[in-house]
Amino acid sequence: MHRLLRRTLVILVSTVALLAPAAVARAAATKAEVLSSWTQTTAASTNAWNAARLDREPWASYQFDWSTDYCSSSPDNPLGFDFTLSCWHHDFGYRNYKDLGTFSANKSRLDSMFYADLKRKCATYSSLQQPACYSVAWTYYQAVVIFGSLEAVNPSDIDRARTQLR
């Protein structure tokens, strides 16, 4: 009996020792650190954000803004390519960095993250569809680089765009 109790305790203590550092690390991470980890250009970063999006409860204390208007005034599914999740991820970055007051310092990376997400989405389509998808993705990326936020847009660019639309 002693042997069974000892084995059970060893397994229990080992399990706690393995799980505790991860829980402590997550609890100790600041909102900015978590936000940064979810807004990198890598697939792993996007996958971590998406997992959190699907299970928000563990992240509730950070008070992230999960709202989205998807691709704003642009189509969410241009030419049938589903960009909704990429646009949501981009909105998440914009809204939360604005909330932290560090948007300008992170805008370029957020736009690059968006483009990386779009390219990963395009890679899921057939080789016949990919060129068109990549072209639309590039256009969406350029649009957010130039017009992604009025705070980041040079007023002369807005004036130039207005004259070109006339």
Helix 31-38 to helix 43-54 angle, to the nearest 10 degrees? 120
Joined tokens for residue 53: 């999006």
Q: How far is CA 45 from CA 17, 41, 80, 107, 116, in A?
A: 26, 7, 25, 16, 11
Query: What residues are labeled active site?
Result: 90
Distances (CA, A) of 92 to 113, 123, 131, 134: 11, 23, 27, 22
Buried b or exposed e, range 93-126, using 16+ CB within 10 angstroms: bbebbbeeeebeebbeebbbbbbbbbbebbeebe
